[in-house]
Amino acid sequence: MEIHTPHNPEIEELERLGDEIALLSAHIEVATARLLDLIRDFDARGGWGNGFLSCAHWLSWRVGMDLGAARERVRVARALPNLPRIAQALSRGELSYTKARALTRVATPETEERLLIFGRAGTAVHVERLVRAWRRVDRNAENREEAERHKSRSLYVYQDEDGMVVIRGRLTPEVGAVVRRALEAAGDRMYAKARVNDPEGDPPTRGQQQADALGMIAEVVHVDAPVLADPNQPGPSVLEDGDHVSAETSRRLACDASRVVMRHTANGHVVEIGARTRTIPPALRRALHHRDRGCRFPGCGVRFAQAHHIRHWAQGGPTTLSNLALLCRRHHRSVHEDGFQVERLADGELQFRRPNGRVLPNAPALPAVHDSEEVLRAQNAGVHLDADTLRPGWSGERVDSGYAIAVMHPLAIRPSQTDGQ
């Protein structure tokens, strides 16, 4: 007996529409794989380094991408070269970016093949659930190691017989990273041009450099008032120990710092010392942070920022809200020492310019795209795609993430290991 299915144009039209959605989605995933390749190359070659904090900040500025999403794109782009099977599946449209993004959080060259099998078979929800469980196993192992490291932390500071102070200790990785960054920053500034040598003229050892850098972490700068007002004027601009810094560095540090005014005689003797004052009063600082909410440099937004005088106070610029802008340490240096410029326009908005004078817009216009679907299909020519390319192999059965972890994770106990116990 033959059974005839009634012809229903509405159902057939919806199936055709569904297939078109699936096919175009596959094209988009292939294009996304190509986009990640471009991002990785751009990131590795430092194309974002013209004033931006990172490749993610550049993406957020240039193409209007959410900063969190941009960071994920960069992370995935960096991870894929070490995961060639996942990268290939994405480039063929067999794996969605959402699945690839999740898998790259936990996959290693040793585990990517088994994870990819699960990724192809399961839905995006299944993959996310598996990855969360996988990370819990990883975290448990990491937490055990971290607990052992934490117990071994120590710091001893004592004076030796010859009067020298000895520092010896073991710091946790996060505390050590802060100390190392501070020492490296101070050391780079002190030894950038090998200005400091020991009495015999030999370059200092690494240990000596770090000892000197520790003394520089608390920055004190001595600078003549005329030099602050005009970097071309003659006069000293030195750190507490006499090490020279550029006039623009002094101007940057003086933008947002405590200051003490000292008056000297012609032969250099101090005759008067004023009270220590803050450049920016606390109430004004609160208003500034409330208004700017972080670094105002295009594409940045870092919350920890310093107050910058658009017209420096030493040049007569007022310490008022309209003459101040928040800049992170990196972009504060960019404006003072790297040639970037900032001004407040008549409408109250800030305008930044590159060292070559070109305006750096807050949000550049996106390029015009015509017939984008046809362009996309043409670019993907040679890749076999159809309405089933992205379809998972899941048939609706219950997915047991715990069992999947037990079978696939290298640190998990296999079910067979507990059989008969």
**Domain extent for 338:** 221-357
Question: Residue 321: which of 347, 292, 346, 284 has the closest Cα?
Answer: 284
Of 188, 216, 244, which residue is a domain's last? 216
CB 93 within 8 A of CB 27: yes
- Answer whether residue 367 is part of any domain: no
HSE of 138 in the Cβ direction (CA atoms, 13 Å)? Answer: 13
Residues 325 and 385 in one domain: no
pLDDT in tens, the chain (421 residues): 566 666 788 888 998 899 989 888 988 999 999 999 999 999 999 999 877 888 998 999 888 888 899 999 999 999 999 999 999 999 999 999 999 999 999 999 999 999 999 999 889 999 999 998 888 887 776 667 667 777 888 888 888 888 788 888 888 776 777 777 777 766 665 555 444 434 444 667 778 777 777 765 545 666 666 666 666 666 666 655 555 667 677 777 777 766 666 666 566 565 556 555 667 888 899 999 999 999 999 888 888 788 999 998 878 888 899 999 999 888 888 888 888 999 999 998 999 999 889 998 887 777 776 777 787 888 888 888 888 887 887 777 787 878 788 878 887 655 444 444 4
- Answer whether residue 368 is part of any domain: no
Residues 243 and 317 in one domain: yes
What pLDDT does residue 195 have?
A: 42
Residues 206 and 231 in one domain: no
159: enclosing H helix or E strand:
strand 154-159
Q: Which residues of 268-303 are buried (b: 16+ CB within 10 A; e: fewer)?
A: eeeeeeeeeeebbeeebbeebeeebeebbbbbbbbe
Question: Residue 389: which of 13, 76, 99, 107 has the closest Cα?
Answer: 99
**Beta-bridge partners for 213:** none
Measured CA distances, 117 to 103, 120, 136, 187, 279 (Å): 11, 5, 20, 50, 61
Round to whole Å and give the CA distance between 243 and 249. Answer: 12
Instruction: Give every CB contact of residue 304 below 8 A, 6+ residues apart in sequence.
Output: 294, 328
- Answer whether residue 141 is part of any domain: yes
Instruction: Give every CB contact of residue 62 below 8 A, 6+ residues apart in sequence.
Output: 299, 364
Residues 238 and 345 in one domain: yes
Residues 316 and 401 in one domain: no
Residues 244 and 177 in one domain: no
Sign of the Cα pseudo-torsion (241, 242, 247, 248, in order): negative
Instruction: Give the ranges where 192-224 is alpha helix by DSSP (H).
Output: 206-216
Residues 264 and 350 in one domain: yes
Round to whole Å and give the CA distance between 381 and 384. Answer: 8
- Answer whether residue 331 is part of any domain: yes
- Answer whether residue 321 is part of any domain: yes
Instruction: Give every CB contact of residue 117 below 8 A, 6+ residues apart in sequence.
Output: none
- Answer whether residue 4 is part of any domain: no
Residue 39 dihedral angles phi and psi, to the nearest 5°: -60, -40
DSSP 239: E
| Tokens describing residue 303 | 């919350």
Residues 20 and 34 in one domain: yes
Residues 350 and 229 in one domain: yes
Residues 167 and 101 in one domain: no
Residues 316 and 236 in one domain: yes
What pLDDT does residue 196 have?
A: 40
Of 172, 201, 216, which residue is a domain's last? 216
Question: Residue 67: which of 78, 77, 56, 75 has the closest Cα?
Answer: 56
Into how many domains does the chain fold?
3
**What is the C-alpha radius of gyration for the chain, rounded to an integer number of angstroms?**
30
* pTM of the predicted protein model: 0.63
- Answer whether residue 396 is part of any domain: yes
- Answer whether residue 366 is part of any domain: no
Residues 298 and 279 in one domain: yes
CB 57 within 8 A of CB 47: no
